[in-house]
Amino acid sequence: MKSKNTFFDIHESIVSIEKYLGEKRDFKVYMADKMLRRAIEREFEIIGEAMGRIEKLDSSLEISSKKHIISMRNRVIHGYDKIDNEIIWGTIVRHLPTLKKEIAILMK
């Protein structure tokens, strides 16, 4: 199934975000580092694009934040001047751990 690679892309981007942030996740550090913010935004673009492909291949797959991530990807790409860093940070904290678990299950 072609989505297997797509799952890997999502997983790889999540792992990259985790590495960028390190163990001590700090919103102030995130806000102070433009390069860090841009790198994470790019990973969300990749995650959102891959999620869109998954949706087209099989919309019945249960991924809890699928619609949220696809719409965030669209905002990052098309509305770069309106990016809400608090929403991105909230997604990192609240949705990425769950998404990582769901994708790991789907990769098996």
Q: Note if 78 is an active site residue.
A: yes
- Out of 25, 37, 42, 73, pick the active-site residue: 73
How far, rounded to the nearest angstrom, does the alpha carbon of residue 39 sit from its chain's CA centroid? 11
**Torsion angle of C-alpha atoms 96, 97, 103, 106, degrees rounded to 10:** -150
Tell which residue, 108, 85, 94, 96, has the closest CA to residue 51: 96
Which residue among the candidates 68, 78, 94, 95 is catalytic per the annotation? 78
Sign of CA dihedral 105, 49, 13, 31: negative
Active site annotation includes 94: no
**22, two tokens:** 């390190």
Residues tagged active-site: 73, 78
